[in-house]
Amino acid sequence: MKFIQQKGDSLPYVAVLPSDYNGDKPLNCLILLHGYGSHMGDLASLGPSINETDYIYICPNAPIQMDLGFGQKGYAWFPIGENRTSDDLHQAVEIVNATIEEALQQFPINRDKVFIGGFSQGGMIAMHAGLSKPDTFKGALILSSRIILEDELLSSTKGASKIPVFMSHGTTDNVIPISEGQHANDVLTKNGYSVEFHQYDMAHQIIDENIRDVATWISQI
């Protein structure tokens, strides 16, 4: 696959396309939102393992720059801890939606098959952005994440169509315990979502088996 870095009007992002793609047909699309302290290139490498012929992968860079030490930079979608407010989440969702719309205009994309997914903090954004826009997204992938602002999420999706959801979590995750993922699964299922929940013998990460299950799920939606 080929990796194209875009400056973007809202956020920079990496677009990952099939190596031989010449624009002759629309591609399905998967938006991938990285986790806290990471960057847009982190999840871009998942594309070839999911589907390397029929999809374009759009991987935005979170807006908040962080100093990780030793000259390394990372990025976050919103502050963590007591400094976080609901406005921080709303702003992150808004800028993600703007970036997605920009990418959908930039590339020939099949609008009937656009998915959104995210890992950890990116999954929190994907949950709010994706479930509240069923006319845009065919499904959502929530990897090693949890629900934040649960009441707001349920309020924003009340009466909306219920898109299918893939969720996964590691049994030894010490960053976001698996109980948080199970709770998210329970809440969404109780509120009418069709959730396919997977758990793996892993920590706060994405393993090959997880990627294979994502590929199988997305091919069936």
| pLDDT tens, position by position, 135-144 | 999 999 999 9
Q: Report the domain count for the chain.
A: 1
29-61 pLDDT tens trace: 999 999 999 999 999 999 999 999 999 999 999
pLDDT band at 83 (very low <50, low <70, confident <90, very high): low
**Cα–Cα distances in Å, from 93 out to 3, 89, 127, 171?**
24, 6, 10, 28
Asked if the model's pLDDT at residue 206 lies above 90, the reply is yes
Asked if the model's pLDDT at residue 86 lies above 90, the reply is no
- The confidence score (pLDDT) of residue 82 equals 67
d(CA 103, CA 124): 21
The residues near 125 (Cβ < 8 Å, ≥ 6 apart) are 33, 77, 89, 92, 93, 96, 118
122-156 pLDDT tens trace: 999 999 999 999 999 999 999 999 999 999 999 88
Q: In this structure, what CATH number is given to the domain that contains residue 168?
A: 3.40.50.1820
First to last CA, the chain: 23
Asked if the model's pLDDT at residue 85 lies above 80, the reply is no
* Boundaries of domain holding 102: 2-220
- The confidence score (pLDDT) of residue 81 equals 74
- The confidence score (pLDDT) of residue 220 equals 95
